[in-house]
Structure 1
Amino acid sequence: MKKKSCSMVLLLLLLVFISGCSNLAMSSTDSDKIKLDYWTLFGGGDAEFMKEIVQKFNNTHPDIHVNYIQLPFDDYYTKLVTGIAAGKAPDVAVSHISRLPQLIELGVVSSLNPDAQKQGLQWDKFNQNILDASVINGKHYAIPIDTHPIAFYYNKEYLRKAGLLNDQGKPIIEETPEGFVNFLNKLKKELPQDIAPFSFATTGIDPYRLWWSFYHQLGADGVLSDDLSSVDLEMDKAVKAANYMKDLYYKHKVIPLHITDFYRTFQSGKAATLITGVWSTGIWEGTDDLEFGVVPVPAIFGEKAVFGNSHTLFLPKNENVDKEKRKAAFTFASFVAENGQIWAEAGHIPAKQTVYEKEAFQELPYRSQYVQIADHVAFQKPSVANGTIETILTRNLDTVLNGSKSAEKAFKTAEQEIKELLQNSLLTPDE
């Protein structure tokens, strides 16, 4: 009887050993994994959500490991180009859609054609407006993962008290230039004196983004010709949009001048509304006692156009990359786009429309109230000079909003500066 018991124990130990060996044989060791370096520029809350996606990928793809490398935002593109030129290219990298043309011109971006289709990437599942902005000269160079436009945020408590909130919790605004002013004026009349109707910067990138939106709402089509070789600034629309904005500060006085931190002003309950990027949604969600809402920027000039950019993933050029590694890079980039419900927690609108159908996305508050903005983002035309053009327009708009120059003079100056840029830049199309 005792011998039988010992035999049974030995048999069980043998079975456990064999089972353990079998499991080890089926799983890949760390040295067997395909390793990918992924360079990003994300910071703050964005970084945490992207790290979550990377962790999820690593947990569900035993044969691939993604190494998340976060570079400082301010010098990200410089380090990216330098690294690729030095033969130290990452396997996957982030680029704003507005910066893609310059990276392509510098020769550091690998075309995704025709490999994308071979890897099962279905372009028709992406938002068409975002996808179109990522296609350069008819070729796919990047996989869009989002768009991050500006949106209109409001304090529900203040709008409710002013009688400017409807039964669905949305602002009561007549979408005309006069209607928007009337809305803000009524808020100003009903609010305590220390509460701003509209919190906004007086100069800088944020007014430029709003100006760009109004300029396109007026029916403008960017500031360059379709072939990108010359300036096509629609002067009357540029001036009208700038003067309308200037009046909000000086004539109607619904935006206090020179707010030090317009984010903080709204967040602390010292303002009823503001316009900023959807990336701030997560900030407001984490703010105690802030009952806020968000809708698209009112289309006061007719067209539902709004400023926005997009994060994309691209595969840097690498002469020595092997096919298996490139295939793994495609797998990872596709996974990031497909898991946009996690990325949407940062406030961004996922680029892949199939994400909108996921329960996890639909359960997120606020996002469904502005997801339609993706269809109306007025992207810059794909010029290598986009970054400098944006700087020129911002600087000249500043002179209008600080009262030092008329809108007509400011945009004549901007027009001339862009013309000279296109003539002198080494990174613009040949004549």
Structure 2
Amino acid sequence: MLKQSTFAKMLLAAALMTTSAQAEETVVWWDFLAGGDGVRMKQMISDFNAAHEGKITIDATTLEWGVPFYSKVQTSAAVDEAPDVMTYHASRIPLAVKQGILQEITAGDWEKMGLSEADYADATWNAVTIDGKQYAVPLDTHPIVLYYNKDVLGEAGLLTEDGTPKGMDSREGFTATLQALKDAGSVKFPLGSVTADGNFMFRTIYSLMGQQDGELMTDGEFLAGDNKKKLENALAVLAEWTNDGLQSTYTDYPATVALFTTGDAAMMVNGVWEVPTMVDLHKDGKLFEWGAVELPVIFDHPATYADSHVFAIPANKSKEMTAEKRDAVLEVMSWISQNSLFWATAGHIPAYGPVTASDEYKAMEPNATYSSLTENMIFDPKSPLAGVAGPIFDVMSTYFVPTLNGEMEPAEAVEEIEYELNDMQ
């Protein structure tokens, strides 16, 4: 027969084991991160789990990017099967809020995470704010940039003293650089652009609109006032480059990357997410000397389209999250944000300011060179019709491709775009 003290000790040990088991929270995570993004995030998740062993474990699943991901989130929330935390795009938040599938990140949540508005660029914070409430924690900004072949531009005498392309401060100057590259005859195209995909070219065109202080939506109306003319101006300069042989024609995404990496295009407009491609090729001795900088100022001032990967908490229709689970989710979002220097190796600009202000980040190239563009970022208009793979992208894409490839006049395209966008209201 066990002594009473021994029995009591056994009960206490069992209780402690039960408490310990209950203390570990499993956070169900969904993301849409593939390729280099996916590899890096999996490593960060592994690092998080190691640092929180016995307390919090992330159970992660990667789903298909775009419409399939967002549709699955919506349907899963409706039947109480959404994850505890997920990646999202800032541009899709207005629609998600309208659908009621995101939980607010409250002032108390931000305090628990040790994060605040002061840690983020104004545009990034504003992108996750709807009617004064925050619905996500920004992880990064991922704008488009100008990649360039230092060897080709150097041989043509088109690099400045700091090693960046000449003519970046005006339409005339940049067009002259493109023309000089064409005249040199060392490349097939001076500039590689994704001219066969209007969804991608939205990024470039919206940037050029922003350089004119143009707005896609004003007080709920698309292309109000002189914004039609500003869109026409943006389309006109890009169409001119294509027609004059300065920019690649009917080029899809993979072909654009191939044009640049094989040396057939001296420069390329693409997302910062292609930085790992360049780094890996160069490390293996398969790529020339290269760089990446903010887009050229074609109109009045710098402006670059950007979106943000963010963390969001789904709102299951009728299943409440426990306080313990929410604390675990907040720790996940906070820890990864504050340890996002490694995420920058994917080319993205970390949204958490102390990371980009660190000496380690400032030593990263080309990231540190183009990260200054966060001061000039413009995001999608706040509309349920906007965002990645959204209706606005689809409408405009229809007219961008023929216009940029010389088969439709910019003014005609703008008239059609204005009609179709406002018809969706």
TM-score by structure 2 length? 0.89
Aligned residue among 293, 296, 305 for 2:294: 296
Question: Partners of 1:26 and 1:48 in 2: how far apart?
Answer: 35
Contact 2:344-2:350 at 8 Å conserved across structures = yes
Question: 3-state DSSP class of the match of 1:99?
Answer: helix
Question: Structure 1 residues 151, 60: closer, same or farther in 2, change over 3 A?
Answer: same
More displaced 10-residue stretch of structure 1: 241-250 or 372-381: 372-381
Aligned residue among 26, 38, 45 for 1:35: 26
Contact 1:156-1:293 at 8 Å conserved across structures = yes
Aligned residue among 136, 139, 143 for 2:133: 139
Aligned residue among 10, 29, 36 for 1:45: 36
Q: What does residue 367 of structure 2 align with?
A: 367
The alignment status of 1:163 with 2:157, answered yes or no, reads yes
Question: Partners of 2:394 and 2:349 in 1: how far apart?
Answer: 25
Question: Partners of 2:195 and 2:221 in 1: how far apart?
Answer: 32
Question: Partners of 1:52 and 1:203 in 2: how far apart?
Answer: 34
Q: What does residue 338 of structure 1 align with?
A: 338
Structure 2's unaligned 5+ residue stretches are 1-12
Contact 1:199-1:265 at 8 Å conserved across structures = yes
Aligned residue among 390, 393, 397 for 1:390: 393
Aligned residue among 161, 164, 188 for 1:195: 188
Q: What does residue 358 of structure 2 align with?
A: 358
Question: Partners of 2:393 and 2:50 in 1: how far apart?
Answer: 41
Deviation at 1:206, TM superposition (A): 3.0
What amino acid is the match of 1:64? I
- Root-mean-square deviation over aligned CA pairs: 2.2
Q: What does residue 256 of structure 1 align with?
A: 248
TM-score by structure 1 length? 0.87
What amino acid is the match of 1:406? E
Question: Structure 1 residues 357, 306: closer, same or farther in 2, change over 3 A?
Answer: closer
Question: Structure 1 residues 174, 39: closer, same or farther in 2, change over 3 A?
Answer: closer
The alignment status of 1:237 with 2:235, answered yes or no, reads no
Question: 3-state DSSP class of the match of 1:219?
Answer: coil
Contact 1:101-1:383 at 8 Å conserved across structures = yes
What amino acid is the match of 1:247? E
Residue by residue, what CA displacement relative to the aligned partner does 1:268-319 show, whole Å, maximum 9, x if unpaired? 1221101111111111111123210111001121221111111110111133
Q: What does residue 404 of structure 1 align with?
A: 407
Give 1:29-178 correspondences, 5 Å limit.
32-62=23-53, 63-74=55-66, 75-119=68-112, 120-178=114-172
Question: Structure 1 residues 190, 50: closer, same or farther in 2, change over 3 A?
Answer: same
Deviation at 1:174, TM superposition (A): 4.8
Question: Structure 1 residues 231, 273: closer, same or farther in 2, change over 3 A?
Answer: closer
Contact 2:241-2:247 at 8 Å conserved across structures = yes
Residue by residue, what CA displacement relative to the aligned partner does 1:239-271 show, whole Å, maximum 9, x if unpaired? 111111101011x21123233501011011221
Question: 3-state DSSP class of the match of 2:142?
Answer: strand
Instruction: Give the number of the structure whose alpha-carbon radius of gyration is greater.
Output: 1
Question: Partners of 1:173 and 1:26 in 2: how far apart?
Answer: 68
Question: Partners of 1:80 and 1:168 in 2: how far apart?
Answer: 46
Question: Partners of 2:391 and 2:84 in 1: how far apart?
Answer: 28
The alignment status of 1:269 with 2:263, answered yes or no, reads yes
Q: What does residue 3 of structure 2 align with?
A: none
Structure 1's unaligned 5+ residue stretches are 1-21, 423-431
Question: 3-state DSSP class of the match of 2:270?
Answer: strand
Q: How many residues align?
A: 397
